[in-house]
């Protein structure tokens, strides 16, 4: 019996160790491969350099950094209000019969492979931007032009992709608000809507913030869909109709044919991505702590 338990404990320990070790190994590997370039090229030059031209050994990653930031921000601007609204609807307003249809549908969104999102964006969203949205914008700015492969297209598709994350976690947070709060508010003569906006959402805000941060993580890290939609032009964007390349997309597309120096530069891009996501996590956990106290 004793030996039996010991063996199980050891197996559990090994499994836990493998997970932790993987993180460590990946981190070490990325930094080992990428740091030399950052050192020789200069961190400042790498991060703020505007020209990404691997064949000329010019590795300015600013276009990709701006590309990732702009597509992610765009996705949040579209996806967060929509996701939270959807969560409120599902948790508080919709009758049970409606929830039974809507909720599995939203969950199904999470199961669609990202390349399918990319293809959908390529076949539907990109042409719509080119033929329907561009003329509207040209009325205000005659110089505007776009191929359709753009920040806007990427943001729209990413917004849909992060919806399940935001909707599910926010909905759970809203449902976890004690019924007593709702009851207390209604008993004071508040309407259902006032109760939602003034009591339920404030009480659920830490969960809602978590959902946004996780959605943001997904948007930053998404690769395949973004490659197909954003046009992959390593250029600092001037408008939402411009094509951009993202950090992830560039790594995925160029790694296959990259020479040694170029490859290291791509690893350095990976470091930036890594630091980016770490910062997101730190921001998330500190805001959570602050919110939790209030």
User: Tokens representing 107?
Assistant: 């969950």
Binding site for another protein (CB under 8 A): 178, 180-181, 183-191, 194, 198-199, 202-203, 294
Smallest distance, Å, CB 185 to another protein?
A: 7
23 or 187: whose CB is closer to another protein?
Answer: 187
Locate 105 and state its tokens: 């549908």
Grouping H, G, I as helix, E, B as strand and the rest as coil, residue 231 is strand
Instruction: Supply 139's token pair.
Output: 């009325």
Neighbours of 180 (CB within 10 A): 8
Q: How far is the CB of 288 from another protein (least distance, A)?
A: 15
Q: Give the separation between CA 214 and CA 209, rounded to whole angstroms.
A: 9
Least distance in Å: CB of 191 to another protein? 6
Give the position of tokens 């703020």. 48
Q: Which is nearer to another protein, 40 or 197 (CB)?
A: 197
Contacts of 242 (CB under 8 A, 6+ apart): 146, 150, 151, 233, 235
Q: Which is nearer to another protein, 99 or 186 (CB)?
A: 186
Q: Which CB sits closer to another protein, 89 or 119?
A: 89
Nearer to another protein, 43 or 186 (CB): 186
Nearer to another protein among residue 198 and residue 289 (C-beta): 198
With a CB cutoff of 8 Å and minimum separation 6, the contacts of 83 are 162, 163, 165, 166, 167, 170, 211, 215
* CA atoms of 221 and 245, how far apart (whole Å): 13
Q: Find the shortest distance in angstroms from Cβ 173 to another protein.
A: 13
The residues that bridge with 217 in the sheet, in sequence order, are: none
- 53: part of which helix (H) or strand (E)? strand 52-53
Q: At closest approach, how far in Å is the CB of 198 from another protein?
A: 7
């Amino acid at each position: 019996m004793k030996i039996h338990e010991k063996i199980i404990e050891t197996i559990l320990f090994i499994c836990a160790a493998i997970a932790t070790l993987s993180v460590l190994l990946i981190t070490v590997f990325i930094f080992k491969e990428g740091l030399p370039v950052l050192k020789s090229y200069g961190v400042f030059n790498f991060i703020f350099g505007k020209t990404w031209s691997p064949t000329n050994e010019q590795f300015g990653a600013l276009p990709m950094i701006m590309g990732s930031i702009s597509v992610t921000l765009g996705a949040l601007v579209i996806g967060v209000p929509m996701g939270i609204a959807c969560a409120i609807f599902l948790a508080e307003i919709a009758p049970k019969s409606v929830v039974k249809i809507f909720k599995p549908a939203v969950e199904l969104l999470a199961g669609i492979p990202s390349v399918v999102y990319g293809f959908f964006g390529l076949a539907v969203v990109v042409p719509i931007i080119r033929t329907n949205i561009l003329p509207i914008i040209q009325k205000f700015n005659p110089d505007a032009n776009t191929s359709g492969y753009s920040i806007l297209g990427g943001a729209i598709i990413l917004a849909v992709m992060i919806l399940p994350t935001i909707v599910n976690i926010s909905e759970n947070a809203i449902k976890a608000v004690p019924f007593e709060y709702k009851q207390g508010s209604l008993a004071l003569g508040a309407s259902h809507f006032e109760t939602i906006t003034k009591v339920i959402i404030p009480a659920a805000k830490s969960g809602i913030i978590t959902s946004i941060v996780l959605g943001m993580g997904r948007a930053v890290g998404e690769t395949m869909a973004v490659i197909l939609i954003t046009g992959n032009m390593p250029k600092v964007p001037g408008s939402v109709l411009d094509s951009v390349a993202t950090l992830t997309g560039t790594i995925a597309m160029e790694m296959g044919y990259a020479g040694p120096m170029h490859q290291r530069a791509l690893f350095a891009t990976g470091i930036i991505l890594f630091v980016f996501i770490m910062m997101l996590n730190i921001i998330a956990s500190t805001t959570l702590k602050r919110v939790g106290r209030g």
